Chains A and B, each alone.
Chain A
């Protein structure tokens, strides 16, 4: 009982501190991302890098078409400008917009409270963590994700995807998930932990640029920027500030209407942490 009361008060003070930081609990870091859709060429390098970095299995053409694939980072194509490029629907010149979509690490994630076994929660790094060992595969979290960025291991893909000796090429920093377990983009948490350990070993704080996610590293146009929002000197904080997008609200008030920054589905009040910079349209 004493720990009950103690934890009630501690929970409340953490909550108040979190509100100041723009979230809901006390954070040490607040990792977020910004993706410039004008720079994105739709080359899919980020998606491929994610496959390599996070031990994602290929599933084959049939299962991919049945929507049972495992690509944590997917490039969405929107053919919303028929005037650009060829008018022939079969032509490849058809002016598509590309949008790299992955887990938005929402601060008020709808996927977290609905897991029956608490396999997903919000870390002190403001990441939405998925605990593979705890997941029993009820898939409620995936149903509640408006972005549909949660992927379920419908099969044991590992034996087909990496027959020996290809399994020697897996990333040893994280596990290969078995069937029946949910997974999603983690902002390369293994790299975050690695950078933390390096910084501690060198006796310094984390600085901007220490952590580079796989997609950010691979992007040829540097469309992806990643960093800590609580670090006011980081590049990502400057981008968010410049775009006048704030956490903790779903109606952004911007002085300059030409600012391109927006968050997807922020009106659902889920506080996604990925800022998209809209593609510059030809007027």
Chain B
């Protein structure tokens, strides 16, 4: 039983293969997952797609996403900040007594802290999204507008030796175009 090739080559190029048939693209990834292309593991694969594919996770492998942690942190912060900010404001305000009600009214503070929970939860989730998805960064040159229409792209960073086997696998699965750029 032979395992994957252990040699690790320095990566010199980035390759984009465009596929019209999504199933063929998934099979390419399945091939890579089964170590059919030497030197490349499924961890190196980036998929560019016009729609989201939750099912691709099973072929592409478990990849982490920390957004729920950001949301929780934002919500917790919002609630605590909201409550204490309001309570401090009420406690320090001069003209406090109203309508026979206590100075720090719990029902109204809870309502407002709840709103702050949601506001900060949303804002912090958005921040987590921009940072985690690595948006707003200088993008690589490898992008084809066909991806925004109906083609799926597979991007892999390869070394010089691995390029041809990879291209063969692509061709086997009806690749439409192959682009490459040198890694700087």
Contact = CB atoms under 8 A, between A and B. Distances in A.
B96 A271 contact: no
A84 interface: no
Interface residues of A, number: 27
B47 interface: no
A12 B98 CA distance: 14
Given A121-B96, A121-B97, A15 B102 contact: yes
B104 A1 contact: no
B91 A108 contact: no
A1 B88 contact: yes
A271 B101 CA distance: 13
A112 interface: yes
Contact of B99 (A4, A12, A110): A110
A23 B87 CA distance: 23
B92 interface: yes
A111 to B, nearest CB: 8
B136 interface: no
Given A7-B103, A8-B104, A113 B98 contact: yes
B100 A11 contact: no
B99 A7 contact: no
B91 A3 contact: yes
B92 A109 contact: no
Interface in A118-158: 118, 120-122, 129, 131
B105 to A, nearest CB: 8
A25 interface: yes
B102 A4 contact: no
Contacts of A110: 99
Contacts of B84: 4
B106 to A, nearest CB: 11
Nearest to A119: B95
B92 A112 contact: no
B102 A121 contact: no
B100 A271 contact: yes
Contacts of A25: 97
